[in-house]
């Protein structure tokens, strides 16, 4: 006897929208990656709610895989960010990469 | 209104507030710290929704490992010259409208659907049950995920190695 299921879904939707806003609007590659994390977390919340609604364990198992995918994504993504920063000297997604190493906008 | 419900709504408000703060902070360290608070709240929500093992994993992996990795990288990169505005106006309008449409559609669909109005039954999957379930029925996915983590490890290592070689060349 907790809360209605649709409250959980609406909460997850609001979190997902916040993450989407962070991903789309920010001008910093690290913040964009952070927005992706927020979205993954919101999806995980919806899955846990669904697992409780239908009393099935699959939803919780999916969250385990979401966590693993988030960890893999972050490790490769942040390595890429560091590489981009070394090449262009900036984390602005609008900056152009040049093969010479010194990026110019 | 039971104690569970009160806790749920309090945690939901905390999570939404700290996530909104994180999405709009100019200082990236502040954003990451706000997000750590948000993940602690989400872990509490997982516990309330009957997943204590996932709540522990959320704190250990998300708040512990992933956010600390973000902090490491932010402190390593140390961008002194930030863009003077964190949003450009055009992008702010575009992103805001996309998110508003998304939220409107999803909330509308959820409210339209008659199922899910009744209260959730409180139930809990103990870590032992969860582990038995995962390794009995989802073992193939577990193997695939472990391969994925190995690939990510090698990929990150390769990117780092390339980086070092280039900086010693220069």
pLDDT of residue A104: 45
Radius of gyration of chain B (CA): 21
- Highest average pLDDT, of B19-23, B91-95, B123-127, comes from B19-23
**What is the secondary structure of A52-100 as a DSSP string?**
HHTT-SHHHHHHHHHHHHHHHHHHHHHHHHHHHHHHHS---TTPPP-TT
What's the CA gap between B53 and B57, in Å, rounded? 6
DSSP B49: T
Helix (H) or strand (E) holding B21: helix B3-24
Answer with the residue of higher pLDDT: B24 or A98.
Answer: B24
A60/chain B closest Cα distance in angstroms: 7
Other beta carbons within 10 angstroms of residue B141's beta carbon come to: 15
B165/chain A closest Cα distance in angstroms: 12
> Is the CB of residue B50 less than 8 Å from the CB of residue B124?
yes
ipTM score for this prediction: 0.87
DSSP B59: I
pLDDT of residue A1: 55
Contacts of A55 (CB under 8 A, 6+ apart): B121, B123
CA distances from B54 to A62, B15, B97 (A): 11, 17, 33
B89/chain A closest Cα distance in angstroms: 9
What are the backbone angles phi and psi of residue B113, rounded to the nearest 5°? -75, 125
Of A24, A34, A48, the CB nearest to B70: A34
Check pLDDT > 60 for residue B145.
yes
pLDDT of residue A103: 44
The three-point CA angle B4-B7-B9 to 5° equals 110
What's the CA gap between B110 and A4, in Å, rounded? 12
pLDDT of residue B79: 67
Contacts of A67 in chain B (CB under 8 A): 54, 57-58, 61-62
Of A26, A52, A71, the CB nearest to B120: A52
pLDDT of residue B91: 83
When pLDDT is averaged across residues A56-71 and rounded to a whole number, the result is 92
pLDDT of residue B83: 58
Answer with the residue of higher pLDDT: A26 or A91.
Answer: A26
pLDDT of residue A62: 93
- The pLDDT mean for chain B works out to 86
> Is the CB of residue A44 less than 8 Å from the CB of residue A14?
no
What's the CA gap between A90 and B79, in Å, rounded? 8
Answer with the residue of higher pLDDT: B81 or A55.
Answer: A55
- pTM of this structure: 0.88
Contacts of A82 (CB under 8 A, 6+ apart): B73, B76, B77, B159, B160, B163
Chain centroid, CA B110 distance in Å: 22
Of A8, A60, A91, the CB nearest to B130: A60
What's the CA gap between A7 and A9, in Å, rounded? 5
Residues B40-84: tens digit of each pLDDT:
999 999 999 888 999 999 999 999 899 999 999 888 887 666 656
What's the CA gap between A93 and A81, in Å, rounded? 10
């Amino acid at each position: 006897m907790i809360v209605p299921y649709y409250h959980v879904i609406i909460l997850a939707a609001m979190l997902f929208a916040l993450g989407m806003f962070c991903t789309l609007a920010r001008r910093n590659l690290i913040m964009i990656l952070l927005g992706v994390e927020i979205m993954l977390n919101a999806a995980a919340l919806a899955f846990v709610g669904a697992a409780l609604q239908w009393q099935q364990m699959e939803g919780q198992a999916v969250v385990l895989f979401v966590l693993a995918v988030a960890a893999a994504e972050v490790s490769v993504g942040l390595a890429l960010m560091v590489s981009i920063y070394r090449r262009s000297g900036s984390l602005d997604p609008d900056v152009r990469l040049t093969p010479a190493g010194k990026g110019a906008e | 209104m039971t104690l569970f419900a009160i806790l749920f709504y309090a945690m939901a408000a905390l999570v939404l507030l700290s996530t909104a703060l994180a999405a709009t902070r100019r200082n990236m360290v502040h954003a990451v710290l706000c997000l750590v608070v948000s993940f602690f709240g989400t872990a509490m929500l997982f516990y309330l929704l009957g997943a204590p093992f996932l709540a522990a994993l959320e704190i250990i992996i998300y708040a512990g490992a992933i956010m600390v990795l973000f902090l490491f990288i932010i402190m390593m990169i140390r961008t002194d010259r930030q863009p003077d505005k964190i949003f450009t106006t055009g992008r702010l309008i575009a992103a805001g409208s996309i998110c508003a449409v998304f939220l409107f559609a999803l909330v509308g669909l959820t409210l339209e659907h008659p199922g899910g109005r009744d209260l959730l039954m409180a139930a809990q999957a103990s870590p032992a049950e969860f582990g038995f379930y995962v390794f009995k029925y989802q073992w193939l996915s577990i193997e695939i995920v472990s391969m994925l983590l190995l690939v990510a490890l090698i990929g990150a290592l390769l990117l780092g190695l390339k980086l070092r070689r280039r900086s010693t060349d220069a």
